[in-house]
C-alpha cells in the first residue's frame, strides 16, 4: 500500500548534478524525463514504501515553479497515477512534490 495521504517533498537535484541531467531549450531549464522518473521512484522509496517496479512520465518537465505533470507508477502489475509539481526552482536547484493516488487506475 502506498503512503498517499501527504505530499512527498523531494529535493530533486544539487547544483552540480542538474547540469548532467537537464537540458535547455533556449533559456528554459528542463528536468529530463528519465531523471524525473528516477526522482518519483526515489520519493516513494524514501517515504518508506517499496521502490516501484516502473515509473513512466510523459515527457521532460520545465524546471519552473508551478509546472506540473502526471506520471504512472507500477507496482506488482497495478498502476497508480502520480501528480508531480515543481515547488521551487532556484538556479539549478529544483524541488518537487510527489503525490501518489490513493486508488489504482
Task: For the chain, give every domain's residue range.
Answer: 8-100
Q: What pLDDT, on the 0 to 100 scale, is given for residue 49?
A: 80
Q: What pLDDT, on the 0 to 100 scale, is given for residue 82?
A: 93
pLDDT at 14 over 50: no
26 pLDDT band (50/70/90 cuts)?
low
Q: What pLDDT, on the 0 to 100 scale, is given for residue 35?
A: 92
The candidate with the shortest Cα–Cα distance to 9, out of 81, 94, 96, 80, is 96
Encode pLDDT of 45-103 as tens digits: 887 788 999 999 999 999 999 999 999 999 999 999 999 999 888 877 888 889 999 89
- Give the span between the Cα atoms of 26 and 5, in whole angstroms: 38
Higher pLDDT, 81 or 4: 81
Residue 105 · residue 47 · CB < 8 Å? no
The H or E element spanning position 100 is strand 93-100
Amino acid at each position: 500500500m502506498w503512503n498517499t495521504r501527504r505530499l512527498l517533498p523531494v529535493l530533486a537535484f544539487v547544483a552540480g548534478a542538474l547540469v548532467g541531467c537537464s537540458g535547455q531549450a533556449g533559456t528554459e531549464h528542463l528536468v529530463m524525463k528519465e531523471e524525473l522518473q528516477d526522482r518519483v521512484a526515489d520519493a516513494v522509496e524514501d517515504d518508506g514504501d517499496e521502490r516501484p517496479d516502473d515509473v513512466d512520465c510523459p515527457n521532460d518537465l520545465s524546471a519552473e515553479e508551478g509546472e506540473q505533470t502526471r506520471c504512472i507508477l507500477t507496482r506488482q502489475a497495478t498502476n497508480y497515477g502520480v501528480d508531480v509539481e515543481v515547488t521551487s526552482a532556484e538556479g539549478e536547484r529544483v524541488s518537487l512534490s510527489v503525490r501518489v493516488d490513493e486508488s489504482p487506475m
